[in-house]
Structure 1
Amino acid sequence: MFGLVGSMASICSLSFSMIGVIISFISLNLLGVWLGLELSFLSVICFASGSSVEEAESVMKYFIIQVLGSCVCGMGFLLSINMVEIMFSQVFIFIGLMMKLGIFPFHFWVSPVVSKLSWAGCASVLLLQKLIPLWIFSNYLFLYKDVSRAEFLCCLTSLVGCLGGLGVLNYRVLLGFSSIQNLGPMMLLCCCSDFYLWVYVVVYMVISGFLMLSLWSLGVYCFQDLIKDKDYFGMSKLWWVSLYFFSSAGLPPFMGSAMKISLLLGCWNLMPLGSGICIFSSCVSLFFYLSVVLALVVSWGKTLFLFNKSNLQPLNRINSFSLLVNVAGGFLLFLCLSL
């Protein structure tokens, strides 16, 4: 798996995906934006394909739904450029972006796709591929003011994401539903504030990216992998990694609480109902985030006592990154947002 990421083909694919993001962000016309969107998407297909049959099957599912979304979105761009059927162009662009992001009712592809991918593939699909559609979506709402429909769909998306993650033991699927749940606040911020939108997106990408990297390095993909390693040192690393779940749940003083603060600062005055539903959905999702931590405690019991002298060890790279991202990063974001 590490050899896959280190290979030249994977590095080139990831580089072209980032180039596609840059092209879309700096492009001055819709065709340039669509070109960057497709370049980034096709590069991620090459990066996430992997070497197993299961990964190839997941990538094929992702390819089909993304091609459909690209066709619908591209049709809307063409109609908008030619100033023909403006109403239909708005509908096409809106539906195409919903399909590419996995917004309700097009959320059905997320869990089947990420369930068999590697952690690197999950990161590219759930994190990197959100950037361009969210940027297009925020500009779409700025131009067409289609706010009421977006607020309704963002509430449903958050509720579907928080309810779908209950009882899930595959952590790739769990993070997929977490991605759906976080799409709701991101859509809401697209309607209200670009600044707080990108604060939310950056914090979400940092937390989820480091979480996936840590689980990848420990070889943990589902609940069964948690109970394989019975020595203390492996369990201690997993306990420190579980801080990312506290952060994703938005518990202060961890870094993830900055996402909820950004949502309230950006949307509460304009959309109190949508903001309240998104906060409520994050409270429900707190249950399946904490279920991972509870699984650790129940499985290992007193061996997780970190101050036992016989078990003391210096902080390694995984533990240090967890403390830096969740605790120190949360403190710095609190200071920045309070200015």
Structure 2
Amino acid sequence: MSFQTRFSPAMLVFLLWVMGGVVGVTFSKGVMGVWYMMESMFIGVLALISGGSTEENESAMKYYIFQSIGSLLMFLSLLSIFCSSGFSLHVAYSLFCWGVMVKLGLFPFQFWVPAVLGLCSWSSFFVISWIQKIPSLWLIVMLGVPLSFTGIFEASVWMTVIIGALSGVGVLQYRVLLAFSSLVQTGWFVMLSLCSGVVIFMYMFIYGLTLGIVLVKLNHYNVFSYLDHTNFRDWSGSSWSSEVKKVGLFLDLASLAGIPPFLGSVGKFVGVFYLWSNYYISSIILVLSSLFTFYFY
């Protein structure tokens, strides 16, 4: 499903709705405002990812179910924050952690990510993998996570990135492969959101740019798996041009994995610099997982 065939005036309206939600989330001064804008934005996202095929509608339904569960947990956590007792705050942060894990696809809820992204269009893939993660990460930055709950996030991130790195081995479908890669990227997102709001959004900007380039090329060349590489030649008309396009796509994937000297490595280097002092074990696991994703690319 190409970007062009999905375009319509209604899609443009919902895209502006989603982007307005991102702006609203960023400039909201309170956590309830962020939650409200996040849920408003979610309506637009559902409209964007719902398509004309059975697979896309199935993907949208799965996504709706898990996001609704995560939203409910996060709403209950924000309500509990207004209670002043220590027990209520403990319950609030517990619910918040579980809500974030469900919405972002962290362990033990990572299974919905390939199930959803493996069936959606390239444009929906971009929205779910990048845009829709911004509100949850911004809530982490705004609320701050107590030290006692940071360990829960760390352990969840470790398992998520390891599963994402190992599960991509032997996968031929690009959407499923990039879905497992997004699990590794989500680990980077969460750990950096625990450190600095500026760094996480710098990292997300670089990731969104590199991911967008990869998805546009895969969509443009009509390539969905490693078995479709003959489409390069069909599109270009010559074997030489086909090889050039294959190399270009490979270099874009290398940038997505954070391999120097490509753009993606800038985010990884800055991320490790900020993480190393407090989360050096997580830094090592994240870097090794990113290198492993480059292996299966």
TM-score when scaled to structure 1? 0.81
Question: Which residue of 2 is the match for residue 129 of structure 1?
Answer: 132
User: 2: CA distance between counterparts of 1:270 and 1:168?
Assistant: 34
Which of residues 77, 88, 91 is equivalent to 2:94? 91
Question: Which residue of 2 is the match for residue 300 of structure 1?
Answer: none
Question: Which residue of 1 is the match for residue 58 of structure 2?
Answer: 57
Unaligned stretches of 5+ in structure 2?
none
Unaligned stretches of 5+ in structure 1?
290-339
Residues 127-164 of structure 1 show CA distances to partners (whole Å, capped at 9, x for unaligned) of 11111111112233x25333222222222221111111
User: 1: CA distance between counterparts of 2:60 and 2:127?
Assistant: 12
User: 2: CA distance between counterparts of 1:101 and 1:143?
Assistant: 16
Q: Residue type matched to 2:114 in 1?
A: S
User: 2: CA distance between counterparts of 1:193 and 1:73?
Assistant: 21
Which of residues 271, 289, 294 is equivalent to 1:286? 294
Which of residues 190, 193, 214 is equivalent to 1:190? 193
The structure-2 alpha-carbon separation of the partners of 1:229 and 1:189, relative to structure 1 and needing over 3 Å to count, comes to closer
The structure-2 alpha-carbon separation of the partners of 1:2 and 1:203, relative to structure 1 and needing over 3 Å to count, comes to closer
The 5 Å alignment of 1:196-215 reads 196-215=199-218
Question: Which residue of 2 is the match for residue 319 of structure 1?
Answer: none
User: 2: CA distance between counterparts of 1:6 and 1:55?
Assistant: 15
User: 2: CA distance between counterparts of 1:12 and 1:72?
Assistant: 29
Q: Residue type matched to 2:45 in 1?
A: V
Moved over 3 A (4+): 1-5, 228-231
TM-score when scaled to structure 2? 0.91
The reply on whether 1:268 has 2:259 as its aligned counterpart is: no
The reply on whether 1:241 has 2:249 as its aligned counterpart is: yes
User: 1: CA distance between counterparts of 2:283 and 2:102?
Assistant: 23
The CA RMSD measured in Å over matched residues stands at: 1.7
Are the counterparts in 2 of residues 157 and 181 from structure 1 also a CA contact under 8 Å?
Answer: yes
The reply on whether 1:251 has 2:259 as its aligned counterpart is: yes
Q: Residue type matched to 1:52 in 2?
A: S
The structure-2 alpha-carbon separation of the partners of 1:21 and 1:269, relative to structure 1 and needing over 3 Å to count, comes to same
User: 1: CA distance between counterparts of 2:295 and 2:249?
Assistant: 17
Question: Which residue of 2 is the match for residue 46 of structure 1?
Answer: 47
Are the counterparts in 2 of residues 4 and 50 from structure 1 also a CA contact under 8 Å?
Answer: no
Deviates more, 1:256-265 or 1:77-86: 77-86
User: 2: CA distance between counterparts of 1:65 and 1:25?
Assistant: 23
The reply on whether 1:71 has 2:72 as its aligned counterpart is: yes
The reply on whether 1:277 has 2:278 as its aligned counterpart is: no
User: 2: CA distance between counterparts of 1:106 and 1:275?
Assistant: 22
SS of aligned partner of 2:194: helix
Structure exhibiting the larger radius of gyration computed from Cα positions: 1
Question: Which residue of 2 is the match for residue 322 of structure 1?
Answer: none
Which of residues 124, 143, 146 is equivalent to 1:144? 146
Q: Residue type matched to 2:272 in 1?
A: L
The 5 Å alignment of 1:322-337 reads none
User: 2: CA distance between counterparts of 1:31 and 1:198?
Assistant: 21
The reply on whether 1:162 has 2:170 as its aligned counterpart is: no
User: 2: CA distance between counterparts of 1:262 and 1:205?
Assistant: 16
The structure-2 alpha-carbon separation of the partners of 1:105 and 1:234, relative to structure 1 and needing over 3 Å to count, comes to same
Question: Which residue of 1 is the match for residue 109 of structure 2?
Answer: 106
Are the counterparts in 2 of residues 16 and 43 from structure 1 also a CA contact under 8 Å?
Answer: yes
